[in-house]
Chains A and B, each alone.
Chain A
Amino acid sequence: MKSIFEGPALRLIAAAIVVVNGFFPAVWILLTSLKTETELVSKPITYLPDNATLANYVQAFTSQPLLKYLGNSFIVAMASTVFSLLIASLAAYAIARLNLKRRQLILTCIIASSMFPLVTLLVPIFETMRTLNLLNTYTALVLPYVVLNLPVCTLVLVGFFQSIPKDLENAAMIDGCTRMGALWRVVVPLAAPGVFTAGILAFVNAWDEFLLALSLNSNPNFRTLPVGISLYQGEFSFPWPVISAALVVAIVPIAVLIALFQERVVGGLTQGGLKG
């Protein structure tokens, strides 16, 4: 097992396996996006593009409302992240700090809601949104996404609140702060890293969601990136070069986000996962 990879050279091979496994689809789609259509259908296929071109990117933005999709994804992900954080931090503070009798039960209730298959909720949510005339609005997606993110955000934030020494809060209250004052001046600043971590997880979840976005917002003006790109239609066949360019555009924001904050993301994910 491990003994095989003990030398430095072999360690490099181990790293290479993991890195190639993680990056090859993204790299391949990047290469594809730089090829011309004629090169793509040539046989045998080429690996590196012969004449790298950015034409597919231009076409991705002009032939389809890619910018609109980007904007929709951003608005929906951002709004649902802000609301989940707001609601989850209130709940998490209550669970972590207050002297409540059934705190474990309350936390279990919130987490259990993530056990329900989303697709079973889809049917009544679709019907309700249709009745309320909310299909093809941002609200139709933001509301369910907030709930979708509530469990993981609450879990991460409970952990963070519990790690802040209670004495700090008590000291502030002795110095004349009210409970709310202590919360705002002491707990909120100290919990900021936790809120940020939970926020990234919520943002990625909302950015990636497909089933609800496909079912509730089918109007091109309200499509998010995954829906918009998967419904790209060429005149004759699936336009792979343009799709690849659009995919690269859609992956870059999320890749930058996780590259910048990878340690936080890993911490949040494993904390959320291990305590669930």
Chain B
Amino acid sequence: MSTHQEHPVAGTTTWDRLRDPSEKTLGVMLLAPAFLLLALIVVYPIGKLIWNSFFDLRLSGGGEARFVGLENYALVLRDADFWNAAGNTVLIVLITVPAALVVGMGLALLANLPFKRQWPVRLALLLPWALPLAFAGLIFAWFFHSEHGVVNDVLRRLGGNEPQMWLLRPNWAFAAICLTIVWKTSSFMALILLAGLQMIPKSLYEAAEVDGATKWQQFWQITIPMLMPSIIVALIFRTITALQTFDIPYTMTKGGPGNSTETLAMLIHKTTIDYLDVGYGSTLAVCMFVLSLLVTGFYLKHIGKNA
């Protein structure tokens, strides 16, 4: 975009220059607040985080920070809690991201039908997105309540055997958490995919119809390829947020029973906020940071191949 810029001519007082600054000065002025804030809340903390990870720093004892080099990292590698939480986090990503994509795709295809009134369907996709994750966790914890929950009530009516005590059994609690995450996140997926669906020209389907392609073929030959950019964006976004899973397991099980549903974010939160062990918490956070960099890098490399 080319701009013809007029520099202030007559009587250039400071005020005039402020009212009519040059392109570059104006750019710096406008971008400064954003970058100052980013420096303060993102860049500085990241530096501080890495710095702290080399120290034995506990806020509880009131003791001083003691430099321990890579000792914290050695501890992480031997820490069963870390591997448990990392495993749970990766499992949540591997289960809920593809599941949310499939469910979201289904919802998007249904919502893309030519309804007379659009708003009920649109609102139904927006509500789960707008609902706080913590609330979704609380509501689904109530659904999965072993005695009075609606899930077990339905199972009792269908089956007869006494159903599971969902949130009190490790694997079942994990399953319940994954189900909740999929419900909560598939609507956002659907919104992104729906926007993508609506941009596919109708003429493509008409042409395929003329050529005698079945609906199934149209879906795989037209819809999916045309939707690929939306799918990739939704996947990246969802994966990054799934790696940070905290709210839903925290409100549903607090990581229990035992630590069978504890995620990395929960372990970091517990170590830092509850135990005030900032040194070790920072080390855990650096490890998580590296993990998410690896995942993002993997995606970007993959998209690089696709594009």
Residues of A within 8 A of B (CB): 1-3, 5, 11, 14-15, 17-23, 25-26, 28-29, 32, 40-41, 43-45, 86-88, 90-91, 93-95, 97-100, 106, 109-110, 113, 115-128, 130, 143-144, 146-147, 150, 154, 166, 173, 178-181, 204, 207-211, 214-215, 225-227, 229-230, 240, 243-244, 247, 250-251, 254-255, 257-259, 262-263, 265-266, 269-270, 273-274, 276
Contacts and interface: CB of A to CB of B under 8 A. Distances in A.
Nearest to B45: A124
A119 B273 CA distance: 11
B127 A87 contact: no
Interface in B128-164: 128-140, 142-143, 145, 147-150, 153, 156-157
B31 A215 contact: no
Interface in B24-60: 24, 26-27, 29-31, 33-35, 37-38, 40-42, 44-46, 48-49, 52, 59
A119 to B, nearest CB: 4
Contacts of A45: 148-150, 153
B278 interface: yes
B268 to A, nearest CB: 5
B195 A91 contact: no
A28 B121 CA distance: 19
A126 B273 contact: yes
B38 A210 contact: no
A87 B34 contact: yes
Nearest to A32: B142
Contacts, number: 304
Contact of B134 (A1, A11, A226): A226
Given A117-B288, A270-B195, A22 B124 contact: yes
A44 B26 CA distance: 68
Interface stretch (B68-76, B90-98, B106-114, B169-177): B106-114
A99 B109 contact: no
B153 A44 contact: yes
B202 to A, nearest CB: 12
Contacts of B219: 1-2
Given A28-B139, A147-B38, A11 B113 contact: yes
B259 interface: no
Given A28-B143, A230-B138, 11 more contacts: A2-B109, A21-B107, A99-B3, A109-B35, A116-B42, A119-B269, A180-B18, A209-B132, A210-B133, A259-B123, A270-B191
Contacts of B131: 25-26, 208, 251, 254
A210 B250 CA distance: 10
A267 B42 CA distance: 28
Contacts of B132: 207-210, 225-226, 250
A121 B153 contact: no
Contacts of A94: 26-27, 30-31
Contacts of B145: 240
Nearest to A148: B41
B13 interface: no
